[in-house]
Amino acid sequence: MATHRARRRHLAFAGGLAALALTLGFTASPATAAPPPPVSYVALGDSYTAGTGAGDLSRPPVACWQSPGGYVDLVDASPKVTLVANLACHGSVLSQTSPFYDFVTPTIDQQIFAGQQALAGADLVSITAGAVDAGSLLALQACSTPNTQLCAATVTGIIQNLQLGTLQTGLEATYQGIQLAAPDAAIAVLGYPRLFDPSQGDIVINGVTIVPVQNQILVNQAIDALNATIAAAVEGSGTNAVFIDVTKRFLGHAVNSANPWIVLDLTQPLLDANFHPNSAGHQAYASALLSSVQLTKLAKR
């Protein structure tokens, strides 16, 4: 009898503890799931991904130049991301068949080959590519002058070449090569910003017009055509690549705006960092990338 009463008191005590736990919110639950591992990240591409404009402004005599503080480094600073490799180089073209290949800088094809081990385990790959292949240097050299006829002829030639489809085909092959090397990765293809704001008028130094409005409009048209080619290549590649358009993010932040996010020093026209994102511009690129991919889902795949 005494044992029976003791058992009842024990059960009542246990029930009281359970009720108290419920009242205080200490309900029994499965062990908290461990957070997903960081997203494994590999970057490929040209000067925009190599960080040009964020750090040093002139290229030293190296085959592959990168600058610290670029958008790749900013993405890597996220606790949800681990950068495995940034293989991008200032001046990279798609392949050695590009008419603008300099016989020194590793091409994007070579970057993919060199990064096979890193790419094999990547969750995320980002890339900027196509500007050099399209003839961006020719356009900037021709249009960063008062000569509107030369600028118009150069831009017209670039747009006509884009319409031939050769660059689109090359970009499609590049995205396919990335997916083959990184079968489990999301591929983020970033475009390029418009460089000028024609509403600000001619760019004038010491009373001399350096870049007239007409040339600014023409350069922006060439960039729009390049971005359209990149977007079409993403669509036609048959891969899981996505195109990230940064045009709207840079509105109000062109080289001739009050708050530029793009480097331009016309007193040093050959400066390597000219027409590349500055620190704020690279932050805009990092934000564009991070807002366009769902890191949590990538980590759980």
Would you list the DSSP string of 205-237? ETTEEEE-HHHHHHHHHHHHHHHHHHHHHHHHT
Give 270-287 pLDDT, tens digit per residue.
899 999 999 999 999 999
Amino acid 9: pLDDT: 45
List the one residue out of 40, 51, 35 whose CA is nearest residue 81.
40
Amino acid 32: pLDDT: 59
CATH 3.40.50.10360 correct for 35-138+168-198+228-300:
no
Amino acid 109: pLDDT: 98
Confidence check: pLDDT of 23 > 60: no
Q: What is the DSSP pairing of strand 208-211 with strand 203-205?
A: antiparallel
Give the mean pLDDT of the chain.
90
Confidence check: pLDDT of 21 > 60: no
Give 142-155 pLDDT, tens digit per residue.
999 999 999 999 99
Q: Domain boundaries in the chain? A: 35-138+168-198+228-300
Calpha distance 241→243 (Å, rounded): 7
Confidence check: pLDDT of 33 > 60: no
